[in-house]
Chain A
Amino acid sequence: MLARFRALRSDLAMVTTVGRDPFGVAFDAILSATEAILDGKRVLLLGTNNYLGLTFDQDCIDSAVAATMAQGTGTTGSRIANGTYGGHAALEQRLARFLGRRHAMVFTTGYQANLGTLSALAGRGDHLLLDADSHASIYDGAKLGNAQVTRFRHNDPDDLRRRLRLLADQPGEKLIVLEGIYSMLGDTAPLREMVEVKREAGAWLLVDEAHSLGVLGAHGRGLAEAEGVEADVDFVVGTFSKSLGAIGGFCAFDLDDFDSLRVAARAYMFTASLPPSIVASVFQAIEAMEAQPQLRDTLRRNGQHLHAGLAAAGFALGAMPSPIVSLPMPDRETAIRFWNQLLDAGVYTNLALGPATPGGKPLLRMSVSAALTPAQIETAIAALAQTGQRLGLVAAGLAAVES
């Protein structure tokens, strides 16, 4: 039965020969949004996606505790079967208000938000146009539905235009799917140009703001807000597991028939709904995100700090400064060694290997948090520079970092 995973097992065995299993890291304790204990040693967390650092926000914790005390630990079923709790509906209204949309639907995870939304929105005879670097949840959502799926070159409006031209004579709706910030390299979609293509073709547009919610835009609504094109985005998908520090996902839009999605999206219908504690902490996290715009400024500064420090250390960097900073690695072996040595030096990052990465190329991926202090970022830069030098990835230019 498991014979087909033999190649995968041998790949994993190769990965673990150098040291730890990067996909099986088990922390002894989480101390804060930025630190944990691993194998009895304190490590700095530089790969959490905890952009605003809200996982330890006292108000969010208090709300979660109060909701558990009042409503119990879980809903034990789906909203279709077990009913909607007051908190679910309140969260949907709050989220819609924050995003400036008429309606929002909450899912149990961000993965399920894409699975449910994409498979339900685009049906047989319709067309989904996906950016080549889309997250697995987008590909899986497309696969679960019956629409024809076309992949276009990453961040290439001309390639999207060409494909829409070839599909122009075909019946059915066309739904373009983009991401605000792409999770592996931290690059953003050229949204204004994409919107132009969408308008020309009379297509629909869905933007997954999983990594850009709370990060981009004057109010943290994401890339569409930052680029001033929210009116052209028909569907916004996102997650509660990054800036909002919990778990869950959503889809928000202005269409009136939105309730039909509740009985069409299988990933919504056939899974247990979010527990009261999560609903309450996410509600509170939205309040915190609105009330503390300075968190976004700190996050931006931290991203720029790490990016500039690594550039000064001589690293070739993947994209413009953003909360995600990725170092392209020359090969898998070096990437695995780099990740292990950094962890030995007390810095936890994400090892990203193909096929989950653009072009299948190995990456050392980091994400900063607003909760990181400048001193912690300096510590991380020094550890990265020393490790990079030891592995021959940066030859010179370390003086500024090491001094």
Chain B
Amino acid sequence: MYGQGLIKGLSVTFSRFFESYTEDIRWLFKRYSKVEFHSSKDTRGTFTIQYPEERLIIPEEFRYVPFLVYDEGENGEKNIRCTSCGICAKACPPQCIWIVRTSDPVTGRPLPQPAEFYIDADICMNCGFCAEYCPFDAIKMDHDFEIASYTRNLLNKERLMKPASYYAGIRPKNNAREEAARAEKAAAKAAKP
């Protein structure tokens, strides 16, 4: 019969249409917990979510413009982990990292601390190489993707610095793994006479 294929196809559309209502009723009073269900294999009905009231769960590995990690000292001082070794600046594909090394004012020898650290976030392609190849776990990829602004995003050291606790919060698994590796290294160093 001519038109059979058409009807067959429309039956799919119709069942989807029907499903969107039954699903709405099912999630009527716990609408915002639907997000978790959203990315499971059984998801049905209306697929979209109501951003910004509802938000997708950001997976741990999600990467956005990098930040610099600092450890909080006992008196509230910020001990930046970066030693300004320059590996991130060398690995960066669009070359959006600028580092000024600190020199000792007396001897002129380099100190393991960046005097300035810029990331041109307009050029950054969020590839994550800087975080991947940093030997000191000092630069990490962020989860904060809402950085729309009226000016160009040239991030300086002050804007880039975030505490280690923030990092542990967004990437708990990675942080635990790195902490363990650091502890092991420290133990090996201590064991050496």
Are A and B co-members of a single complex? no
Q: CB within 8 Å of A: which residues of B?
A: none
